[in-house]
Amino acid sequence: MEYEIILEEKTAQPTIAIRTRTAVQNLPQVLGKAYDDIMKYLMEIGVQPAGAPYVAYLNMDMQDLDIEIGFPVGQATAGKDHIQASEIPAGKQVSCLHTGPYSTLESAYDAMMEWVPAHGYTPTGVSYEFYLNDPEQTPESELLTKIVFPLK
């Protein structure tokens, strides 16, 4: 699959998120519960998400993933209990859009990991996945995932 890699300079994006650890096989359940908890909290305080839900992968240990699960918000929003204020940092980043099942995201990651050093950049080691449509209402072949690598 051919990917269009986009290089951008971004401002910091406030988010509201849950940070946790999990094994890759538990991701669907962990993400579902976290998104549900965050949406209930946002409704409770009258705040709307300002973008698609995301997961930040802070490491790539598939048996002990360190992840941040959240939503962008329009302005810094106080957290409550395990739901915390966070942000996607400002700076240069590359992104690409993947169409298809989550199980085939690796090809997009491979394309980005090839592009970044070939163009003289170094990734920070964190990657973000933004889920642009709902997997419960969208055929797998039409799922849209935006992958973002912040750069050093």
Domain hosting 51: range is 6-150
- What percent of the chain clears pLDDT 70, i.e. is strictly above it? 100
Specify if 38 maps to a domain.
yes
Specify if 1 maps to a domain.
no
Average pLDDT over residues 5-23: 97
Q: Which DSSP string do the residues of 65-131 spell out, in sequence order?
A: EEEEEEEEBSS----BTTBEEEEEPPEEEEEEEEES-GGGTHHHHHHHHHHHHHTT--B-S-EEEEE
- Give the residue from 131, 147, 114, 138 showing the smallest Cα distance to 51: 131
Helices (H) and strands (E) in the chain, counts: 2, 8
- What is the residue whose two structure tokens read 């999990």? 22
Q: How many domains is the chain built from?
A: 1
Total-model pTM:
0.95
Specify if 124 maps to a domain.
yes
Each residue's pLDDT tens digit, 60-69: 899 999 999 9
CATH number at residue 140: 3.20.80.10
